[in-house]
Structure 1
């Protein structure tokens, strides 16, 4: 092929059609012949290609990769990129946009099948070809600097959060938002990784335990298609521009930055409002000791009170049900009824005698008065 040879399209697009043998020889496809992918070419001169633009030309090979990569093709069916293409967005990427078919080297991985640090960083650069603005934000973030500058495999690249071929994203709707805390938790609950940097692994546990996280969890289980306004991780920490916690501009360890984050949902929040947040740590003797000891007090106080109330209720039921039942079933003492009747009659006789005496006394008092009047 002639060096510098190009192809022009009716819309004015121009592309190079030069394939460098040395580059192709180092690619993952070096053992494949051209006709494996270019199935419509069997001789020279080549048949005329009727594509009207360079993009239309590329899209002609949209399904070519499927014959050798069926599992990746299956994952792509659930990708946000595939959905966008189906909706008519011809700029949505296909295989050849991320993997140059004539130059793509074999993807370097370690013994566990994980991407090498360089390959891990390269994946973010591939996404940046289309998402340049987001890539610039990511490059300045605590994650981006760790991946792009330090080549740290512990730090997430784009594909760690969004997936590789089954890419998900905000256009996925409410489901992505509701499941996003678990994406963050994949790394932030990993003790092996977090221990290297002194970060808490209690982030998901403490989030789910509060009002925000509890509501999100309920919606995720009961109504995952319902959009909610409860905050998820990226509402407070950012999405692609996450900074170090002590960053003076956006770090949430800085009280004013934390207050600004709270005021997104609580516009009336005052300066002391963030003091109620315990970060993502469960209180202990050293961190938030006052909260810890109050919790410890109630841990024993509440069971004691409830236990006492329960004991009282049980004893009252026992008294009312068991003892009363025993009284009803007890046999009367022999002769008790006769004795009771005699006692009642004696009481009546005494009462009658007392009434008679009172009448006599009253009559005696009245008689002298009558005589005097006579």
Structure 2
């Protein structure tokens, strides 16, 4: 063997021996947990000099460590350079073991915050703890509250938070909506479960389950399907419109409350303001209308947006089915007006399913409804001719004297119509009664005469 090669191989053997020896010595010098706790079990142990981002206390609760996810590991598994005693140790690198987490975390909101070096950016220990390492299943909302104080405060007061507090394991938590902890994405990220266009599907994980709705006495079990068929749902799912209302726009995000709670966004008295967040012009008209003023005074019978448009099944107002259905909706309060309307030509045509005739809103308006005595009303004396001319271009003042809600049985309000109706009714009843009786009395005589003629003229024998 050449002398040069022999020297190289010899050097490699010596170097390998030194490395193995160093490893053996290092392993032998590595302190045990008991040796570490000889100092770190002291509760008052602190750093001599404060370091930003690192805890001052150096006390280690051995019982908590043993009960943690790392309970079976030695101290040097994380503090690999530790000796007994030791000076300042470098930061622990969780990624030495959890090597798949950084890639996931880097894509998420928490990882991005770290990348931007923000002071409040969370670290592994922010959520999992230090020596009392918590597994993901043990990370509760209290951990989220260390950073997200206002959101968690709202959640605790919400229907979800209260249900969770009562022990309901099916109530939504942070992870239910935001996803896995390491992969939490900002709501502005189109991949996030809380992104505007994705949120309905996220809510649907619970609210599309009819069995869950039964278990929790949720009034509308198929709410997701109803929403997706609505004008808002189609705008979100088919058109991708970020301005279209989704679940949180109406119900809130962390502060969701039942509609029976006065502080809820969908509490009856709050509905106009909630809808007005998008439909500002409509809200302005509504609050000035007779309906809006009555609702503001606390009249529970005054209609709000959801009475006419529904909550989750909102349809386009130019659609004929909705225009016909809303007539019946008006009748839930104005039953007498609906009854008299149905007696008119307009009412009879709409009852047959045709929408191209005058309906309630065509004459009275929709969001701007005022009493007929109010000059702003579309049926006030000052404006009624203009209103009628929308369909009848040649309408005159005389034309507007037609009473669309006249009741012929009301003698006090419509005496002329009443007595005309009474006269015609009596005439009709009298005529039919007289000739009906005449027919009944004549019938026996007619039969008798026919039989008499038949007896007087017997058939001839063949």
CA pair 117-123 structure 1, distance change in 2 beyond 3 A: closer
Q: Which residue of 1 aligns with 2:371?
A: 244
Q: What are the equivalent positions in structure 2 for 1:236-315 lying under 5 Å apart?
A: 236-250=363-377, 252=379, 254-277=380-403, 279=405, 281-314=407-440
- Residue 242 of structure 1 aligns to a residue in which SS? coil
Q: Distance in 2 between matches of 1:49 and 1:288?
A: 63
Q: Tell me which of 83, 90, 93 is aligned to 2:245.
A: 93
5+ residue gaps in structure 2? Answer: 1-109, 114-146, 165-171, 209-220
Matched with 1:160 is: 307
Larger radius of gyration: 1
CA contact (8 A) 1:29 1:101 kept: no
Are residues 152 and 284 of structure 1, via their aligned partners in 2, closer, same or farther at CA, if it must alter by over 3 Å? closer
Matched, 1:230 2:230: no
**TM-score, normalization: structure 2?**
0.56
- How far does residue 312 in structure 1 lie from its aligned partner after superposition? 4.2
Is 1:83 equivalent to 2:234 in the alignment?
A: yes
Contact residue 178 and residue 193 of structure 2 kept, 8 A: no
Tell me what 2:159 maps to: 28
Match of residue 203 from structure 2: 65
Measured after TM superposition, the shift of residue 215 of structure 1 is: 0.7
Instruction: Please state whether the residue corresponding to 1:239 is helix, strand or coil.
Output: coil
2:21 aligns with none
The 1:118/1:78 distance shift into structure 2, 3 A limit, reads closer
Which residue matches 1:174? 320
Match in the other structure for 2:331: 185
Relative to the length of structure 1, the TM-score reads: 0.68
Q: Name the count of aligned residue pairs.
A: 291
Q: CA deviation at 1:207?
A: 0.5
The one of 131, 138, 162 equivalent to 2:286 is 138
| 3-state DSSP of counterpart to 2:352 | helix
Deviation for aligned residue 1:159: 0.5
Deviation of residue 169 (structure 1)?
3.5
Preserved CA contact (<8 Å) 1:81 1:93: yes
Q: Structure 1's 24 and 49: CA in aligned 2 closer, same or farther, altered over 3 A? A: closer
The structural deviation recorded for 1:283 is 4.3
Q: Check if 1:38 corresponds to 2:178.
A: yes
Q: With a CA cutoff of 8 Å and minimum separation of 6, indicate the structure with the bigger relative contact order.
A: 1
Q: 1:19 to 1:159 in 2, by over 3 A?
A: farther
